[in-house]
């Protein structure tokens, strides 16, 4: 199923350039600075469960498409702890595999099926059971245990994303084990800085308990955050991440910020002020980053849980998060006015609004020393999406204000597939620049190396 | 003028794939579920009038371009019932035919000129009279009568777009005739649900007269609408269409809705509430669609009659409707919160704001079971526009959440040309996926068939 | 470094078409109707200064990229009248030349290095000194004096951009000299029509002094503006230019406008009314254009001086102007309602928001007789940017509602490079239309000629 030239330009001369560039980077290690895998997998090193638990249930790319075509989530046993009839769910998935034509999910799955399970025939209703059996059988073998895969995938470092309230016990366990894999946490403070996060007050209380600070005062709250950042750093973290609804930042001044915090924590703040508080917290996080050197990532612009009925029944992360128009120019101004020229700050911006690539993000990143552009995110982490990113961002921001690839995945098995797609699209883009003489091939090879490992190591301080 | 390989990719290998795919769909029937032809043409089956009445006067794509380059509408005799000097108008058009270089209008016209009239030389001032004579002569022949063309075009079904106040007499006449063509109406209630539609109150009154309901009460008004929908269904309608300025929907609850209706119908509602009323009516229409199964189409985002002077002089549809930014994510939420997960609802979304393809529409359609994406609309119904749609929507929504092609035209003669462009662009896109190994050729052929006839029949329940 | 086929399509057949089209326009003269060169260069005809003063210091494309990667402006001696150590600055620039990979700056610089200085080896740390020496030496030769370059570049006309308060002494001097070069001013009234322009009141006072009008009355102010426009026309101006933050226009009526002016000039107007005043002034300028025939250009959508710290230290034009979303449809309505159908008005629209190409600008320009689309501006004046413009605007506006290329540069030496990139991208786009049979090659050749010299002469009345 996997052609050696997949995703390369059709023109033969250009394709040959892409091939040569790819050959120089295909075997480079995977640097994965942002994602949603679980440290516990590597602590326990147990076999991954059955095909459905692995490929269908946790992957909202997969079940959102099935759901959009009228397959009930019940039919897929989504949300169930134990799957009653995994083989039946697998058959449903297999017989609808054609729905993924033209999507990146298809590319990722085919890659995993073939490289990990030796399955070379396209998945369909006809071979569903065969697939199921082969996958189930191989998952139990030592070669497919988490640590073995980490090595087989040639991973250099793998970052998880964690709540400030997380004890990071699994990360500690890995560090004290003899296993040499590098799994690092990422500080994602949404549960304690977003007043609209479920159980916000309880979270802030728990943060106090963890740190011995009075987190119901502004000073104590900030100290507690700094203290957890420090704790994450000690366990290997090099970055923070922030998933706010918008990119709004604020710079209220300390007195106003303290007053606002008081209202927020008491639950007496106006609805509109909650967004201002989140904005203020981004600037506070930037201030702390200038001090402790943690790289900052902002992932704004997702309207979460758009499907009210589904949310009521199944809760978060049910494939119903929808992007919205996102502004950066005015939104980031307060933060950038304070810290935009700081040498010790790295602020990586992501977007779900592709119109901002050429209009806002590339011009901002092509100017402010602290800014870098994250790779195409979520729905845009796809061949066409990555191509649009390079076409729209490069001419103003260059390559060197970008930070390589993020796989950003919960699906550990898809990591090599995702990195491979990114590498192929990058060399395809570079090959086109070489073919029309915008770049010489030796330069393109250098850039390809940077896009694969150089820029990510540097930007994330790994 | 028409090269067999037109609109296919330049790369020879890819072009050969496109050709093979095209050969498998070129002769499939035309399914036209949305457009603005007139049922009366087929009732009366009279010759189409002269070249100007056919190609210039009714086609705002044509005369807006001429107008933009300084040709007065008077010079084109736009708006006149009888054209004084059609040959002179035709010459003006012919001598400015170069203005259409690079536009889809050019492709459509060349196709009609060559396939229907055997005209193989590019239109220009030099051959204007020859063109005029040949077209005028052939129009009078039996082969170019409406019913003959319907068959020659291999049309399977053709939908018109109709006011709820329309008696649909022509549709009835066709159904009771022995002619086998399938012409179906579409329920477009704008005149009676948009308070800013000309003569809104009179229209609502007429709706009452037609249905025997008291349409000045909320209950009676809703019953009247349901009754006309039922009437349309009996005459073959499978769909409704809604041309609102935005995609706003509301879900006010019955009491508030009734109160708002009372103010609206009395003319005492605030300006801003008129938009809320329209939004409420979309949700009411969705509710009725769940009940009666009519497929719902929303065409938002056009600022109508932008040119005030022209509107004062010539009225509507003078080529001065301009797209505006359109939001879907928040706008559709009320409707989707109520009916988004209904199995019996199909809601087809259109846009004039291409930024929404990848940001909003594909993520929404890739999740909600009721949603499907309509093809590129109006200004975007063009080779580049259709290519952008596939490139931006497919990776998130897949092919199967789209609904094939709409010609959406008033120009009956252009229908095969428009479908042919769409088929060519679709196979060109598929050929590229095959060429870079994202899809295998047998799958691409299946998808091409679906994009041509399968998805449209299913989505529109035809 | 410069391949003859640079920027042409990769496919060999298409490339051959592009080459043939290019051969027919490569030697056409440069028509430069909009830019920021200095008339004084041609009055004095002195050698351009050293490499740093020429290539680094005045070019915010160059130093914004260096700054974004952590190089301090001090290190580049930005803002200094006399450069202390130009060779050191040059070395810094040279050793970071790789940052410009994939950017248009790289294309422009390589072109200048090779064609003007015979430097054929890629700039790098290794050859920095050699570059410096060669450039410094050649700059002193007669062949590189401003007037010699004007002729060598085959410039037909070159427009500068000037304040209404400028005496245009240099323009006068050129006209009274025996030199035959055509350098024309452009009327850019921002300093006297934008109340937020530095020293606005003083500027309006100076306008009064220059014209003998009482510019603190509405009538006198308008007369003074008309009088300066007339003065600019006498010195060759054919156009005005307007750099407002948005495209907002207003049509207040004379009494309200006079009242607003009174508040504005006294400094008592509300903040929000300043934008309304600017909008009113665009309509006033359109009115005067109808009268005096000056072509009007609007360049909206740049958030100026985004980096507050840099602005405080270095002032304007430090590479920190960032585009913002821009609306045209509602914003231009007041002006277009008044003058949109005027035969004697030409209004050229520019944008930094590419989403408006297909959504707003092409539909507007494809309808209103007064409107034309300016070429891709600023960040979008690049191969990908120009390609997107043609792909998104042509199908609705056609080629003939566009106005050819603007180099819009302060960097005189880059003018041929920029025009060459534009010509190559245009023929590449046309070659693709020919290759897939949307256009015949003889037509494409005609269009290429129009895009290079025909449309610009006509639109700018040159």
At B418-453, the pLDDT tens digits run: 999 999 999 999 999 999 999 999 999 999 999 999
Tell me the mean pLDDT in the region C260-272. Answer: 96
CA B441 to chain CA centroid, Å, is 31
Q: Which residues of C touch B102 (CB under 8 A)?
A: 394-395, 398-399, 433, 438-439, 447
CA nearest neighbour of C109 among C59, C67, C38, C160: C59
Indicate the SS3 state at residue C348: strand
On whether both A434 and A387 belong to a single domain, the answer is yes
Is residue B133 domain-shared with residue B238, that is, in the same domain?
no
Confidence of residue A50 (pLDDT cuts 50, 70, 90): very high
The verdict on residue C27 lying in a domain is no
Q: Do both C252 and C168 map to the same domain?
A: yes
Closest A-chain CA to C11 = A11
Residue C24 domain flag = no
B255 C-beta neighbours (distance < 10 Å), count: 9
Confidence of residue B1 (pLDDT cuts 50, 70, 90): confident
Contact C329 B352 (CB under 8 A): no
Residue B312 lies in a domain: yes
B333 pLDDT more than 90: yes
Residues B134 and B172 in one domain: no
The whole-number pLDDT of residue B316 equals 87
State which of C114, C143, C172 marks the end of a domain.
C143
Choose the weakest-confidence range: B302-316, C110-124, C447-461. Answer: B302-316
**Residue B125 C-alpha, separation from nearest chain C C-alpha, in angstroms:** 15
What are the tens digits of pLDDT across the range C156-189?
A: 999 999 999 999 999 999 999 999 999 999 999 9
Predicted pLDDT at B62: 96
Residues from chain C contacting residue B126 (CB–CB below 8 Å): none
What are the residues facing B240 on neighbouring strands? B187, B296
Calculate how close chain B gets to C431, using CA atoms only, in Å: 10
**A contacts of C309 (beta carbons < 8 Å):** 337, 340-341
Position A239 scores a pLDDT of 98
> Which of A2, A14, A68, A356 is the best residue to mutate to test the B interface, defined by the most B CB atoms within 10 Å of its own CB?
A68
Q: Using DSSP bridges, classify how beta strands A302-303 and A322-323 pair: parallel, antiparallel or unpaired.
A: antiparallel
Is position A5 within any domain? no
Whole-number pLDDT of residue A58? 87
Q: Calculate the dihedral angle through the C-alpha atoms of B229, B235, B238, B243, rounding to the nearest 10 degrees.
A: -60
Establish if B235 belongs to a structural domain: yes
SS (H, E, C) A77-135: CCCCCCCCCHHHHHHHHHHCHHHHCCCHHHHHHHHHHHHHHCCCCCCCCCCHHHHHHHH
B-C C-beta contacts closer than 8 Å: 130
pLDDT confidence band for A316 (50 / 70 / 90): confident
pTM of the model: 0.98
Query: Three-state SS for C90?
Result: helix
pLDDT band for position A375 (cuts 50, 70, 90)? very high
CA of C82 vs chain A CAs: smallest distance (Å):
24
Same domain, A284 and A180: yes
- Residue A138 sits in a domain whose CATH number is 1.10.2020.10
The residue of chain C with its CA nearest to that of A336 is C307
**CA of C437 vs chain B CAs: smallest distance (Å):** 5
Please give, rounded to a whole number of angstroms, the shortest distance from the CA of A257 to a CA of chain C.
Answer: 21
Interface test with B, best of C340, C370, C398 (most B CBs within 10 A): C398
What CATH number does the domain containing C290 carry? 3.20.20.140
Which residue, A100, A121, A142, sits at the end of a domain? Answer: A142
Task: Report the chain B residue with the minimal C-alpha distance to residue C344.
Answer: B70
Quick: pLDDT tens for B371-384: 999 999 999 999 99
- A-chain CB neighbours of C11 within 8 Å are 11
Which residues in chain C are contacts of A397 at CB distance < 8 A? 68
What is the phi/psi pair of residue B306, to 5°?
A: -65, -30
Q: What 3-state class would DSSP assign to B183? A: strand
- Give CA–CA dist C372/C392, Å, rounded: 15
Number of residues that make up chain B: 462
Please check the confidence at residue B79 and state whether its pLDDT lies above 90: no
Instruction: Say whether both B225 and B318 belong to one domain.
Output: yes
Q: Which of B101, B310, B418 to mutate to test the interface with C (most CBs of C within 10 A)?
A: B101
Residues C330 and C442 in one domain: yes
Q: Could you please report the per-residue DSSP string of C233-260? A: HHTT--EEEE--SS-------HHHHHHH
Task: Say which of B6, B323, B325 has its CB closest to residue C363.
Answer: B323
**Residue C262: both structure tokens together:** 């009174």
Cα–Cα dist C422/B48, whole Å: 45
Q: Which chains touch C (3 or more CB pairs under 8 A)?
A: A, B
How high is the ipTM of this complex? 0.97
Best residue of A341, A434, A440, A445 to probe chain C, by most C CBs closer than 10 Å: A341
Mean of per-residue pLDDT scores for chain A:
97
Same structural domain, B94 and B204: no
In a domain, B1, yes or no: no
- State the Cα–Cα distance between residues C301 and A360, nearest whole angstrom: 11
- pLDDT at C89 > cutoff 90: yes
Contact C394 B103 (CB under 8 A): yes
Are the beta carbons of C307 and A367 separated by less than 8 Å? yes
Q: Is the pLDDT of residue C316 over 90?
A: no
Inter-chain CB proximity A438 and C7 less than 8 Å: yes
What's the CA gap between C158 and C460, in Å, rounded?
12
Mean predicted confidence (pLDDT) in A130-142: 97
Instruction: Say whether both B138 and B271 belong to one domain.
Output: no
The mean per-residue pLDDT over the stretch A295-316 comes to 95
Sheet hosting strand C30-32, strand order edge to edge: C30-32, C155-159, C183-184
Average pLDDT over residues B176-204: 97
B303: which chain C residues are within 8 Å (Cβ-Cβ)? 329-330
The alpha-carbon gap from A300 to the nearest alpha carbon of chain C, in Å, equals 17
Among C143, C177, C210, the domain-final residue is C143
pLDDT (0 to 100) of residue C110: 98
A436/C10 touch (CB, cutoff 8 Å), yes or no: yes
CB proximity list for C90: less than 8 A, separation 6 or greater: C51, C52, C56, C128, C131, C132
Q: In this complex, which of A391, A435, A443 lies closest to C384 when CB atoms are compared?
A: A391
Q: How far is CA B460 from the centre of its chain?
A: 13
Task: Name the residue among B406, B412, B392, B435 with its Cα closest to residue B38.
Answer: B412
**Segments forming the whole domain that contains residue B242:** 144-459
Taking CB atoms and an 8 Å limit, are B7 and C333 in contact across chains? no
Across the interface, do B367 and A324 touch by the CB < 8 Å criterion?
no
Give the relative orientation of helices C271-292 and C254-266 as an angle to the nearest 10 degrees. 120
Q: How confident is the model at residue B216 (pLDDT cuts 50, 70, 90)?
A: very high
Residues of chain B found within 8 Å of residue A65, distances taken between Cβ atoms: 366, 398
pLDDT of B317 over the 90 cut: no
Residue C301 banded pLDDT, cuts 50, 70, 90: very high
DSSP helix, strand, coil percent of chain C (3-state; round to 5): 55, 5, 40
Same domain? C258 vs C372: yes
Contact list, A371 vs chain C (CB under 8 Å): 68
Provide the domain count of chain A.
Answer: 2
Residues of A in contact with C9 (CB under 8 A): 436
B269, part of any domain: yes
Residue A4 lies in a domain: no
User: What gap in Å lies between CA C219 and CA C200, rounded to an integer?
Assistant: 18
pLDDT at residue C1, rounded to an integer: 83
Nearest-by-Cβ selection for B333 from A8, A306, A382: A306
CB pairs below 8 Å between A and B: how many? 130
Q: Kindly identify which residue of chain B lies nearest to residue A385, measuring between CA atoms.
A: B392
C331 and C183 share a domain? yes
| Mean pLDDT score, B166-176 | 98
The mean predicted confidence, pLDDT, of chain C is: 97
Residues C103 and C174 grouped into a single domain? no
């Amino acid at each position: 199923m996997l052609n050696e030239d997949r995703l390369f330009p059709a023109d033969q001369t250009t394709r040959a350039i892409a091939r040569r560039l790819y050959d120089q980077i295909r075997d480079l290690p995977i640097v994965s600075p942002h994602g949603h895998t679980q440290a516990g997998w590597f602590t326990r090193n147990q076999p991954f469960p059955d095909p459905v638990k692995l490929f269908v249930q946790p992957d909202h790319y997969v079940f959102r498409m099935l759901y959009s075509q009228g397959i009930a989530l019940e039919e897929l046993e989504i949300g169930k702890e134990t799957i009653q009839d995994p083989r039946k769910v697998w058959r449903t998935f297999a017989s609808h595999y054609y729905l993924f034509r033209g999507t990146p999910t298809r590319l990722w799955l085919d890659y995993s099926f073939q490289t990990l399970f030796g399955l070379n025939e396209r998945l369909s209703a006809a071979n569903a059971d065969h697939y199921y059996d082969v996958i189930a059988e191989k998952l139990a073998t030592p070669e497919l245990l988490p640590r073995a895969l980490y090595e087989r995938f040639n991973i250099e470092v793998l970052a998880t994303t964690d709540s400030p309230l997380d004890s990071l016990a699994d990360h500690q366990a890995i560090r004290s084990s003899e296993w040499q894999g590098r799994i690092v946490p990422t500080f994602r403070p949404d549960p304690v800085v977003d007043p609209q996060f479920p159980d916000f007050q309880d979270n802030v209380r728990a943060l106090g308990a963890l740190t011995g600070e009075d987190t119901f005062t502004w000073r104590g709250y900030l100290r507690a955050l700094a203290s957890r950042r420090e704790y994450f750093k000690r366990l290997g973290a090099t970055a923070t991440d922030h998933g706010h609804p918008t990119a709004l930042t604020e710079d209220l001044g300390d007195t106003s910020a303290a007053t606002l915090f008081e209202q927020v924590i008491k639950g007496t703040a106006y609805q509109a002020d909650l967004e201002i508080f989140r904005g203020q917290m981004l600037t506070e996080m930037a201030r702390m980053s200038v001090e402790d050197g943690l790289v900052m990532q902002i992932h704004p612009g997702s309207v979460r849980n758009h499907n009210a009925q589904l949310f009521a029944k199944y809760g978060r992360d049910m494939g119903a998060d929808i992007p919205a128009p996102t502004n950066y120019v005015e939104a980031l101004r307060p933060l950038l006015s304070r810290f935009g020229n700081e040498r010790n700050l790295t602020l990586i911006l992501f977007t779900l609004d592709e119109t901002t690539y050429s209009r806002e993000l590339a011009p901002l990143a092509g100017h402010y020393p602290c800014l870098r552009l994250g790779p195409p995110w979520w729905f845009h982490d796809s061949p066409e999406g990555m191509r649009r990113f390079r076409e729209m961002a490069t001419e103003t921001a260059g390559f060197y204000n970008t930070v390589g690839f993020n796989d950003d995945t919960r699906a550990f098995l898809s990591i090599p597939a995702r990195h491979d797609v990114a590498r192929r699209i990058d060399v395809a883009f570079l090959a086109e620049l070489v073919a029309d003489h915008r770049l010489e091939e030796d330069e393109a090879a250098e850039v390809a190396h940077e896009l694969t490992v150089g820029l990510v190591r540097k930007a994330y301080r790994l």
